[in-house]
């Protein structure tokens, strides 16, 4: 047993197709469409009108009502997903060293509800009517801090914000902390809840979101007729643990995380580098870190945003990295079902990838109708598929050129390099 091995022992998810890993998994397997017209506010005058909203979320199922009122929605999501993962890992009934348990939960926008409400009060009633709790509602680190306080986690704490790669960066950074021996347990992931007028209007202005108002084919990664992403919301949290610590607890292990890559395009604030250089290098870095032959990877959970540029660049990058083996890879994007959760996407997609390795279920890319000559991989499009996976990769690429890739393998697969 390698003392630096890191395993996944707990999963939590708040998504537009299910709250809780069981419900989320069932939604993925069924190819459930979580895209619909926005209900959070009136979108009549906005260019884009569809989103992947989390329905039926009751914060008081996870947080007492008084505390919940003082939190933004993204913090509530983060706490709920953390509680699920914490319980799933059996940590509620296990006495662990709090000084060696840490947390990393990132976000991209943070408390957009608080920002908009606070600004409205400032303009309409003046500064004396501002509530001091607006500060704790809007800060990006609040989800991480609140979970740390809730469970007494006194080890490393961080809250990265790297746009759409945030969740993967959070998990990768937690992986590194455990590899260094600086902790025994890390909760890691991300949360986003910014389906509110201001960020919505700003993304509409970038024209990166779809103008399609048909929910049945709006989010269609790799399809020839895709025209932009559909914004979603949600959170994904995982419990990562030193293998020896997990074995001492006799807890179920979902998979082993073995590789992490992190690169920058250094090219443009929104567009990917045309030759896919950053994407290529980040996948190569993750594979190198995993010390794994490319033939071991059977599935890639793609970033797959449903934008013209991202999908063709990611497809080209996969072909460059995997060569002839690219023809044997299964590829899918769950953004077709849940939309693009922005900073929340990487962690929710990582949870999905872990479930694929653990159960052998590959989720489909729904809404795929017409092939694109520039996207020629084996996209899973006709329902979920079963595959005995040895290892899988999850990709995340963000505005500003941040790239992150994570590699996980089936726990107990000793033959890593063949």
For 161-221, the DSSP string reads -BTBTHHHHHHHHHHHHHHHTS-SEEEEEEEE---SHHHHHHHHHHT-B-----TTTSS-T
pLDDT of residue 1: 65
Interval 154-199: pLDDT, tens: 999 999 999 999 999 999 999 999 999 999 999 999 999 999 999 9
Question: What are the beta bridge partners of residue 388?
Answer: none
CB atoms within 10 A of CB 186: 29
| Distance separating alpha carbons of residues 240 and 5, to the nearest angstrom | 10
Q: Is the pLDDT of residue 417 over 60?
A: no
Token pair recorded at residue 70: 């003082």
Instruction: Kindly give the pairing relationship between strand 391-398 and strand 402-409.
Output: antiparallel
Q: Is the pLDDT of residue 241 over 90?
A: yes
| Domain 259-409 in the same topology as domain 7-249 | yes
Q: Is the pLDDT of residue 414 over 60?
A: no
Task: Evaluate whether 132 touches 63 at the Cβ level (below 8 Å).
Answer: no
Those residues whose C-beta lies under 8 Å from the C-beta of residue 115, and which sit 6 or more positions away, are: 138, 198
Segment 272-279 shows an average pLDDT of: 96
- Binned at pLDDT 50, 70 and 90, residue 98 comes out as very high
Segment 313-333 shows an average pLDDT of: 98
pLDDT of residue 205: 96
Q: Could you say which of 145, 194, 204, 303 is catalytic?
A: 303
Averaged pLDDT score across all residues of the chain:
96
| Distance separating alpha carbons of residues 324 and 322, to the nearest angstrom | 6
What percent of the chain shows pLDDT beyond 70?
99
Q: Check if 164 is active-site.
A: yes
Those residues whose C-beta lies under 8 Å from the C-beta of residue 251, and which sit 6 or more positions away, are: 9, 89, 90, 241
Burial of 48 (0-12, 13-18, 19+ CB in 10 A): buried
Q: Check if 4 is active-site.
A: no
| Distance separating alpha carbons of residues 340 and 358, to the nearest angstrom | 24
Domain 7-249 has CATH 3.20.20.150: no
pLDDT of residue 133: 86
Token pair recorded at residue 355: 């479930």
Q: Check if 303 is active-site.
A: yes
Domain 259-409 has CATH 3.20.20.80: no
pLDDT of residue 366: 98
Q: Is the pLDDT of residue 210 over 80?
A: yes
Taken in order 83, 87, 89, 92, the sign of the CA dihedral is positive
Interval 336-388: pLDDT, tens: 999 999 999 999 999 999 999 999 999 999 999 999 999 999 999 999 999 99
**Domain ranges in the chain?**
7-249, 259-409
Q: Could you say which of 145, 313, 340, 375 is catalytic?
A: 340
């Amino acid at each position: 047993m390698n003392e630096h091995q890191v395993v996944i022992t707990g999963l939590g998810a708040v998504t537009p197709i299910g709250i809780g890993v069981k419900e989320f998994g069932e939604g993925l397997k069924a190819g459930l469409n979580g895209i619909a017209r926005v209900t959070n506010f009136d979108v009549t005058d906005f260019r884009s009108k569809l989103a992947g909203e989390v329905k039926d979320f009751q914060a008081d199922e996870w947080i007492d009502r008084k505390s919940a009122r003082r939190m933004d929605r993204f913090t509530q999501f983060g706490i709920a997903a953390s509680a699920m993962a914490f319980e799933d890992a059996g940590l509620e009934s296990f006495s662990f060293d709090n000084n060696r348990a840490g947390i990393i939960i990132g976000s991209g926008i943070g408390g957009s509800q608080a920002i908009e409400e606070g600004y409205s009060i400032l303009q309409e009633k003046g500064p004396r009517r501002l509530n001091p709790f607006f500060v704790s509602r809007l800060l990006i680190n609040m989800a991480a801090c609140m979970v740390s306080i809730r469970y007494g986690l006194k080890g490393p704490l961080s809250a990265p914000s790297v746009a759409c790669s945030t969740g993967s960066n959070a998990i990768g950074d937690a992986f590194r902390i455990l590899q260094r021996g600086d902790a025994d347990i890390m909760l890691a992931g991300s949360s986003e809840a910014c389906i509110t007028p201001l960020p919505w209007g700003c993304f509409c202005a970038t024209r990166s979101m779809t103008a399609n108002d048909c929910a049945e084919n709006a989010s269609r990664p790799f399809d020839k007729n895709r025209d932009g992403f559909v914004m979603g919301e949600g959170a994904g949290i995982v419990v990562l643990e030193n293998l020896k610590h997990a074995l001492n607890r006799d807890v179920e292990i979902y998979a082993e995380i073995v590789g992490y890559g992190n690169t920058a395009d250094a090219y443009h604030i929104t567009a990917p580098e045309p030759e896919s250089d950053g994407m290529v290098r980040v996948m190569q870095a993750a594979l190198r870190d995993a010390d794994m032959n490319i033939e071991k990877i059977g599935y890639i959970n793609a970033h797959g945003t449903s934008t013209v540029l991202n999908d063709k660049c990611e497809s080209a990058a996969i072909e460059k990295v995997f060569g002839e083996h690219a023809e044997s890879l299964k590829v899918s994007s769950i953004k077709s079902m849940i939309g693009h959760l922005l900073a929340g996407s990487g962690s929710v997609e990582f949870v999905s990838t872990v479930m694929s390795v653990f159960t052998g279920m590959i989720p489909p890319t729904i809404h795929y109708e017409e092939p694109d000559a520039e996207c020629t991989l084996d996209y899973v499009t006709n329902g979920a598929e079963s595959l005995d996976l040895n290892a899988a990769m999850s990709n995340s690429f963000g505005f500003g050129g941040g790239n992150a890739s994570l590699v996980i393998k089936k726990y107990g697969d000793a033959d890593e390099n063949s």
